[in-house]
Amino acid sequence: MTSKKIRVLVAKPGLDGHDRGARVVARALRDAGMEVIYTGLHQTPEQVAETALQEDVDVVGLSILSGTHMTLVPKIKRLLVDNSMKDVLLVVGGIIPEEDAMVLINEGYADQVFTPGDALEKICSYITGHFT
Amino acid sequence: MKQLVEELLKGNRRAAARLITLVENEDRQKTELLQAIYPHTGNAYVVGITGAPGAGKSSLVDQLLQEIRAEGLSVGIIAVDPTSPFSGGAILGDRIRMQDHALDQEVFIRSMGTRGSLGGLSRSTREAIQVLDAFGKDLILVETVGVGQSEVDIVRTADTTIVLLTPASGDSVQTLKAGIMEIADLFVINKADLPGTERTVAEINMMLDMKNSASWRPAVIPTVSIRGEGIEELWTALKEHRLYLETSGQLAEVRLQRVRRELTEQVEYLVKNRVWAEVKDKFVLEELIEKIARREKDPYSSACELLDSINFFESKS
Ligand SMILES: Nc1nc2c(ncn2[C@@H]2O[C@H](COP(=O)(O)OP(=O)(O)OP(=O)(O)O)[C@@H](O)[C@H]2O)c(=O)[nH]1
Ligand SMILES: [Mg+2]
């Protein structure tokens, strides 16, 4: 009788002003049956972590196009851990070089990294796959 | 589980968030949790805000937050957005307009999807309100899109209900038809920077004057929530309505009604779940449904037979 839904925070930390990509991903996740909390542009890491806490999300998806992923992602991960949310799935999307992605994943800052070439279905099925 | 409630009562934000999830997901422990929470509720003042999609509800909430916080009150916000009937997913975007208060520890915002279960929306919203009430929030604002019956039901849970209209959309007349007129304690005409505001305000005032039977006459307040105009007036009117409810004894009446509804809903909920669990245990409903569709049976006697077979009617003794 329980009716769980996967809740995803789609956040845009950093200063870049494009959220078209984030919106497209948000819609795809909704169409895959998820509840997507969308918060708009220019989020600070503190805002992202606090929103994740209040909304009790299962997934945090960060869209970062500004090139500042190597500082933002670890910072947000640490804040999530501070909020007792270390188990939240953290995925990053953006223009992120392969070697950076490897570091983020290997150091445990991110669970997965997607780049603009990745199909939306790949992102959706990665998340749904994680919760089945 | 006990610990989660204890943490909630201590003001732990993570516990509040977890508990709302558990009640929203119809978790097995839900009833037990709500039982533990209930004695600690009844202190928050609940304000419902409803209006057409895009009317400016979230922007208004954001502006109201400044007034509320300036008085040192703590706030819980429940922002409800529609769930897609096709995928079951939802985009919950109300927080976009409330970012100024994202890090204020005295403000707790929770987004909820309607999730479409029959009557379930008003119940899960009410339960989320209870969590935030026990959490110690002085004021709880509930934002819902005013389109359907369930949204109207949510608003009925509130102590004060604000109905938001806009001048341009011509939705005033429509809304009044939908019976929202009756539930409004305050009318806000948002986007008062757009043409047609004066006419809309006059229209609503005229209708209110015609109907004027109750002792509370709703105020009609123009606002421009993107510029913060009219917000002070709205906050004042809100406090006036609260004072009216408190001094006239209406507040006690409103809350009695709410408890009556809570009790009724809970009984219906238990009966429904129990009956369906037993029926589904015993029968393959699909076969019966097909028989009814072929007109070999009818739904009226079939329903009685189902209930008979689980001794529903005898269990009265
Ligand atoms: N011109 C004008 N635009 C406004 C005003 N208030 C809000 N808006 C705009 O109206 C749009 C919708 O505002 P929201 O606050 O998100 O409205 P809402 O009722 O919460 O929307 P939903 O939750 O999607 O139903 C935004 O683009 C706002 O900038 C206002 O007073 N005047
Ligand atoms: Mg809104």
So what's the pLDDT on residue B185? Answer: 92
8 Å CB contact between A43 and A12: yes
The enclosing H or E element of B301 equals helix B299-309
**In CATH, B39-248 is 1.20.120.920:** no
The count of structural domains within chain A is: 1
Measured from the CA of B55, which atom of ligand 1 is nearest? Answer: 19
Alpha-carbon distance of B261 to B251, in angstroms, equals: 15
Q: Are B183 and B161 in contact (CB under 8 A)?
A: yes
Burial code (b: 16+ CB inside 10 Å, e: under 16) for B20-51 equals bbbbbbbbeebeebbebbeebeeebbbbbbbb
Output the CA B240–ligand 2 centroid distance in Å.
25
Low-confidence ranges of chain B (pLDDT < 70): 116-121, 147-155, 168-180, 212-213, 315-317
State the amino acid at position B10 in one-letter form: K
Q: Which residues in chain A have their CB less than 8 angstroms from residue B89's CB?
A: 5, 29-36
Is A95 a domain residue? yes
Q: Please report whether residue A1 resides in a domain.
A: no
Range of A31's domain? 7-130
**A52 three-class SS:** helix
Residues of chain A with Cβ-Cβ distance to B92 below 8 Å are: 35-38
The finding on whether B55 has its CB within 6 A of some atom of ligand 1 is yes
Answer whether B56 contacts ligand 1 (Cβ < 6 A).
Answer: yes
* Pairwise CB contact (< 8 Å): A53 & B14: yes
Contact residues for B209 (Cβ-Cβ < 8 A; gap 6+)? none
Quick check: CB of B94 below 6 Å from ligand 1?
yes
3-state helix, strand, coil in chain B (%, to 5): 55, 15, 30
Probe ligand 1: pick from B57, B58, B59, max atoms within 8 Å of CB?
A: B59
Q: Which two tokens stand for residue B42?
A: 């009844």
Residues 4-23 of A with CB under 8 A from B: 4-5, 7
3-state secondary structure B200-212: HHHHHHHHHHHHC
Instruction: Give the closest residue (by CA) to ligand 1 atom 12.
Output: B54
Q: What is the pLDDT of residue B172?
A: 54
Distances from the Cα of B204 to the Cαs of A58, B56, B210, in angstroms?
Answer: 45, 18, 10
- Interchain pair B17, A33: CB under 8 A: no
Whole-model pTM: value is 0.92
Burial B192-223 (b: 16+ CB within 10 A, else e): beeebbeebbebbeebbeeeeeeeeebbbbbb
Strands B90-92 vs B160-165: parallel, antiparallel or unpaired: unpaired
Coil vs helix vs strand at B295: coil
Cα B104 from Cα B102, distance rounded (Å): 6
User: B56 C-alpha to center of ligand 1: Å?
Assistant: 3
Question: What kind and span of H or E run contains B40?
Answer: none
> Ligand 1 centroid vs B192 CA: distance in angstroms?
12
Examine residue A2 and state whether it is found in any structural domain, yes or no: no
Q: So what's the ipTM on this one? A: 0.95
- List of chain A residues with pLDDT < 70: 1-2
E strand or H helix at B270, and its extent? Answer: helix B250-282
Query: What CATH number has the domain bearing residue A99?
Result: 3.40.50.280
Window 52-71 of A: residues touching B by CB (8 A cutoff) are: 53-56
Residue A51 distance to chain B (closest CA, Å): 7
Whose CA is closest to B76, among B141, B126, B157, B11?
A: B141
**B82: DSSP letter:** P
In chain B, residues with a C-beta closer than 8 Å to the C-beta of A43 are 99
Helix (H) or strand (E) holding A122: helix A120-130
Q: How many CB atoms lie within 10 A of CB A120?
A: 15
Q: If DSSP codes are grouped into helix, strand and coil, which group holds residue B104?
A: coil
Distance A45 CA to ligand 2 centre (A): 23
* DSSP 8-class letter at B92: E
DSSP B56: S
Q: Tell me the HSE value of B290 on the side-chain side, using a 13 A CA sphere.
A: 3
